[in-house]
Amino acid sequence: MARARLAQAVASLVKQAAAGSRAAQLQGAASTLGAATTSSTGFAARGASKQFLWAKVSLGFAAAGLMTVAEPPSAGCTATVAADAKVPPKAAAPAPEAAQRHKVVFVLGGPGSGKGTQCARLVQEFGLEHLSAGDLLREHMKSGSTEGQMVADMIKNGQIVPSHVTISLLQRAMDESGSTKPFLIDGFPRNEENRGQFEKQTGILPELVLFFDCPEEVMERRLLGRNEGRTDDNIETIRKRFKVFIESTVPVVEHYEQQGRVARINADRGADDIYKEVCRLFLEF
């Protein structure tokens, strides 16, 4: 009997010990879980804090132009920005192949308006380069080439020579001159197609356009009286040239007037009076 009571007492003690151990385990697990929760919460808070700090740093550098705003690093990564870090400069766009550029003054006016006379005086006084599109074409006509003969036939009929021919002659003359002074280009462009092609082919806009404005009857009288032996100085061809000038060249003058590049000169006067006005323009120019 005593032995049975002793066995029950031992069993009770073992049960209580097991229960106590279970409670301790549960309490320990709860403590561990709490610690883990606390640690996780703290880690998350620290990560959020780092993300917020990174956002502030990113925005600050973006405002200073040193970097662009990017995604923040993942939580736990350390964001480092070197104090002397510099964004590489953008590579400059490759410059187009350099073409030889010249300063140009277009000298326009009807046939016999006195363009050549005034250009000669400007060359003498200011040392400018004078290129007459007509003179270059006439030299080309004498070359004996097929293209030169075509030019001769077109001029005889009062027609406009193809732009690329005249522009190539002008460009070659400018390049070969070696001059850095402005070029007076006399009698070109003669139409809007000439103008557009010249700008496209050479990349040049005129610094100034001199327009000698003269009545047709005055120009006709001058042309018939100059007796230079030119094949286009006959009444029929002269009047064709007047018609071409009015229809084709005047729109070029109007185009440049809209850009404020034109100086309109009254050419129905003596050469000296005209030159005084032209000279004053170039002294200011």
124 vs 10: which has the higher pLDDT = 124
277 shares a domain with 147: yes
Helices (H), 65-159: 115-126, 133-141, 146-156
Residue 79 has pLDDT above 90, yes or no: no
176 shares a domain with 46: no
136 shares a domain with 226: yes
Q: What is the CATH number of the domain that holds 177?
A: 3.40.50.300
C-alpha torsion sign, points 153, 157, 162, 165:
positive
Q: How far apart are CA 103 and CA 115, in angstroms?
A: 19
One-letter amino acid identity for 105?
V
- pLDDT (0 to 100) of residue 5: 55
| Residue 59 φ then ψ, to 5° | -65, -35
110 shares a domain with 220: yes
Lowest mean pLDDT among 22-26, 116-120, 143-147, 254-258: 22-26
Q: Is residue 45 in a domain?
A: yes
- Number of domains making up the chain: 2
Q: Is residue 239 in a domain?
A: yes
**Quick one: pLDDT band at residue 143, thresholds 50, 70, 90?**
confident
| Residue 132 φ then ψ, to 5° | -100, 120
71 shares a domain with 150: no
144 shares a domain with 250: yes
Structural domain boundaries enclosing 41: 37-80
Specify which of 13-27, 40-54, 169-183, 255-269 reaches the highest per-range mean pLDDT: 255-269
Cα three-residue angle 200-202-204, rounded to 5 degrees: 90
125 shares a domain with 69: no
133 shares a domain with 58: no
Could you report the per-residue pLDDT of 48-66, keeping only the tens digit for each?
443 433 343 334 333 333 3
CA distances from 9 to 18, 21, 31, 85, 87 (A): 14, 18, 33, 79, 82
Q: Is residue 73 in a domain?
A: yes
Q: Tell me the average pLDDT across 162-178.
A: 92
255 shares a domain with 136: yes
130 shares a domain with 264: yes
266 shares a domain with 176: yes
- pLDDT (0 to 100) of residue 11: 52
Could you report the per-residue pLDDT of 192-227, keeping only the tens digit for each?
999 999 999 999 999 999 999 999 999 999 998 876
98 vs 179: which has the higher pLDDT = 179
Could you report the per-residue pLDDT of 15-59, keeping only the tens digit for each?
554 444 444 443 544 444 344 444 444 434 444 443 433 343 334
- pLDDT (0 to 100) of residue 234: 82
- pLDDT (0 to 100) of residue 26: 37
68 shares a domain with 174: no
